[in-house]
Structure 1
């Protein structure tokens, strides 16, 4: 129940908006187009972020790692300010109703009533008003990115085909066999049952119903499709050279006699492009989106007046 809301909070902590006011007793660590980030705000963001991981405490971090982490968090806070300033520039807004709908959805997905939700916020050091503020910032951020980045990302058919052919080994399908099995007391009994089937006195399904001590005897011992590589060596040996409709020679499985009926064979090989096209499109899209996002943020930073004092 908690995993999904913790994930949401992690996203929000990466997009939280600071007040812009600088306490007189506090040191400014960065100024972005005239908007300040204070040391207390940076440390609060860092504390909230690390607080999501039970096995990490600020005081346990080596000095070099703490310094590097602070620098990374500060960079993200600078990016967040730039994105919020872009939202203001384009007049992008988020209504109170949208915020309430989001909170209602989070509660429903995590099966929380209002008090449970508030208690979880308190455990994360948040008030409901602070959570609403973070939610608004997160939605604003996504809308800016959709308008300025996501809608400009295009994946062509040629790119999909090229990706498919360059990564053929990633789209291989294992050989599969549809099997039925009969398990009886011992090897000699399996020989007898096979002779009955071979002589036409009974078919495999009926033999399974009458004699099998294995799975699904009332359904002819049907195992469905099984990946070839996941079969035990003695099963693969018994099936070697068989075609659809064939019945194996008797063999021993954990002391029991066994017979296999090959219903269907699906040869391994490359999965058709049509079956993995959507997966490839998403992978290419996500890679392009990350690249465009970095380019967009870098452009904002180059045009901005940023004074980092950490």
Structure 2
């Protein structure tokens, strides 16, 4: 059974990484990080306060000199918990990798990054520019890539039995979304990256009710790119969209909004601003692309089920929070 050709790596191709614009209580916290102590034990292995603070550092630094409202502090408390839960999940994956003796070397990660860049036909300079736009360093991108490579290896056996993409499914997608698989077909997108504590479903309903426009909501609430420009992030080639974005946008017309999508651990809304159709391609020329998109979506579902089983049987002790 074929495995997905591209790893998400929570990565480029406009699957944007946004850290957050809301922060912790005061600038003083950015200079007073505790470098010892334990915040959680995961099956007996520790997550240190230092490691946790390092993950939170962007939040501290973005709020240097700011005073936050009670609502914002509540949102930050929720965000801190989400970040810790993500660290717990990472630890569970690491433990599973050790149990099954899975290893991903630095050389393998670098080779995967080279393939990632080559498939998108971009230069190293453009790759670095995209990382900078996403506030993501190359080591952070490499670590994300490594985690995704381990993830795929960990559940490869389960996926081979549970993830099946048929020819009829591929053909159905092609017929329903021909415009997306045309040569040089592009989509102009608006994006809202929603602060922790705000309901994306409720915000979507408010926009669709006409109480505010998507652009107004983006300028008021978004924590991501396009703020001040109504959330508009310009034209993107369909082929460069992450699979989950592609699936969420499938069949939408200009002005319509997706169901909530996830970027890292944050919720977001996408709006189709306009579509630019290209030259229609034959099914055989895009069959593999459609297959990979469907396979990746099914793979993600299996992975979430796998992670839930790991969480259910794990012994996690939270401390000093």
State the TM-score bracket (shorter-chain normalisation): 0.3 to 0.5
Q: Which has the larger radius of gyration?
A: 1
Q: Tell me: higher relative CO, structure 1 or 2? Use CA pairs within 8 A at least 6 residues apart.
A: 2
Which TM-score applies when normalising by structure 1?
A: 0.42
Which TM-score applies when normalising by structure 2?
A: 0.41
